[in-house]
Amino acid sequence: MVQKKATTTTKAPVKKVAPKKVAAAATKKKEAVKKVAPTKAVTVATKKKSPVKKAIVANNKSKIAAYKTKKGEKYMSAAMKKHFVAVLLLWREHLTDEMQKTFDHLKTKGETYADPMDRASQEEEFAFELRTRDRERKLINKIGISVEKVKQDDYGWCDSCGDEIGVKRLEARPTATHCIHCKTLDEIKERQLNG
């Protein structure tokens, strides 16, 4: 037992020396963190700003900023309708421009290749572009229906239940005709029927 006490007494001074070294190292780290902290704050601030700019630019259907409701503003007020009409018309204009580019591309690149593999590759590319444009053509029709609904004061209301669709949902999908609850129920029913 005496030997154990001797070993504990020799370890005690080592423990007292280590905290001083750790404390000195910690103060050096704090000084280093203080020197680095201002640059981190700057990079964090720029990172917060850049995704917002990218979201506005990346959103093809509108370069218009999202609508912010004012306190006490009535749902589907004149300002809201004007905003969504501008978004819909800009989106339709973008889609028609893309359709024209595809048409011009098909006209200029419509060469016949001697190699069957090259010809098949080109036909596959054209078929893909045409499928995409067909979906966009259907979307242009939906945009036209949505613009007509705005004129009839029927835009922004669910076709199934008659509730508000919501500004956030309309910003995400301006041609939406159902509120999120009805759309969710429709998708669940469709999954159950199709397996």
Domain CATH number, residue 84: 1.20.120.910
Residues 54 and 83 in one domain: no
Distance, CA of 98 to CA of 104 (rounded, Å): 10
Residues 13 and 85 in one domain: no
Give yes or no for residue 49 having a pLDDT over 70: no
Give yes or no for residue 13 having a pLDDT over 60: no
Neighbours of 155 (CB within 10 A): 24
Residues 138 and 86 in one domain: yes
Number of folded domains that form the chain: 2
Residues 142 and 182 in one domain: yes
CA angle 143, 148, 153 (to 5 degrees): 120
Residue pair 102/129 in contact by the 8 Å Cβ criterion: yes
- What local confidence, expressed as pLDDT, does residue 163 receive? 94
Residue pair 101/123 in contact by the 8 Å Cβ criterion: no
pLDDT tens-digit readout, 79-136? 999 999 999 999 999 999 999 998 888 888 777 777 888 888 888 988 999 999 999 9
Query: What's the mean pLDDT in 53-82?
Result: 73
Residues 82 and 164 in one domain: yes
Distance, CA of 89 to CA of 78 (rounded, Å): 16
Task: Give the structural domain span for 144.
Answer: 78-98+134-194
Taking the CA atoms of 110, 113, 119 and 122 in sequence, report the sign of the dihedral they define.
negative
Q: Of 66-70, 160-164, 170-174, which gets the smallest average pLDDT?
A: 66-70
Residue 111 inside a domain? The answer is: no
Nearest CA to 84 out of 181, 153, 182, 162 is that of: 153
Residue 124 inside a domain? The answer is: no
Considering the entire predicted model, what is its pTM? 0.62
Residues 156 and 186 in one domain: yes
Residues 93 and 8 in one domain: no
Provide, rounded to the nearest whole percent, the portion of the chain with pLDDT above 90: 47
- What local confidence, expressed as pLDDT, does residue 56 receive? 37
Provide, rounded to the nearest whole percent, the portion of the chain with pLDDT above 70: 68
